[in-house]
A and B are shown apart, each in its own frame.
Chain A
Amino acid sequence: DAKTTQPPSMDCAEGRAANLPCNHSTISGNEYVYWYRQIHSQGPQYIIHGLKNNETNEMASLIITEDRKSSTLILPHATLRDTAVYYCIVRALNFGNEKLTFGTGTRLTIIP
């Protein structure tokens, strides 16, 4: 899997949009961008994933640049419960590539 680069930490005011960037300049054409988050002492929670089009679900939006070398996860109205470590992963969905590998992620702190 290609590697990703994320800022180690970010703060965001409660109620504002949180924009979490991820660089994946060596991403291959068949690799998806996945986002998970992990609240302290809990299991990782799946957020969203995409290949090249922007995606939105009830939790977040994923914006992928046209060249696919970077992406941004957007939490539209951050709450205190969004405080967590956010992991950006690029992953090819083919057999032999079963395991997930998390990097160091971005520690997002929502400020009241």
Chain B
Amino acid sequence: DVKVTQSSRYLVKRTGEKVFLECVQDMDHENMFWYRQDPGLGLRLIYFSYDVKMKEKGDIPEGYSVSREKKERFSLILESASTNQTSMYLCASSSSVVETQYFGPGTRLLVL
């Protein structure tokens, strides 16, 4: 079974804080993705990575950065958290960018 884990299920941060969300997959997948999910807006792609140290912007990269130093780990960084970044953050991985994506449990982030 594919296993994608995320570092926290729930997180509360203050405006202006730097926030790190970690994602780890154990299936040796090449590709990893970060989405956010908001009511009424559905799933939106923030960034994805198709290889170590490689990254591609998704639809809403502003205010976010990512890091992929190891194949199994993909980090999402909020440089200076803002209240409009309160959301459910979902990490996914796949064996290639065009294959089935498997999701982690999600991190529900609240920025106060």
Contact = CB atoms under 8 A, between A and B. Distances in A.
Does more than half of chain B's interface fall in helix, strand or loop, or is it mixed? strand
B7 interface: no
A103 interface: yes
Contact of B105 (A42, A49, A100): A42
A100 B44 CA distance: 8
A34 B100 contact: yes
Interface string A16-43: 0000000000000000001000000111
Contact of B106 (A42, A46, A104): A42
B74 interface: no
A53 interface: no
Given A41-B106, A46-B100, A93-B98, A103 B59 contact: no
Interface string A84-112: 00000000011101111111100000000
Interface of A: 34, 41-46, 49, 93-95, 97-104
Interface of B: 4, 6, 31, 33, 35, 42-43, 45, 48, 56, 58-59, 88, 90-92, 97-106, 108
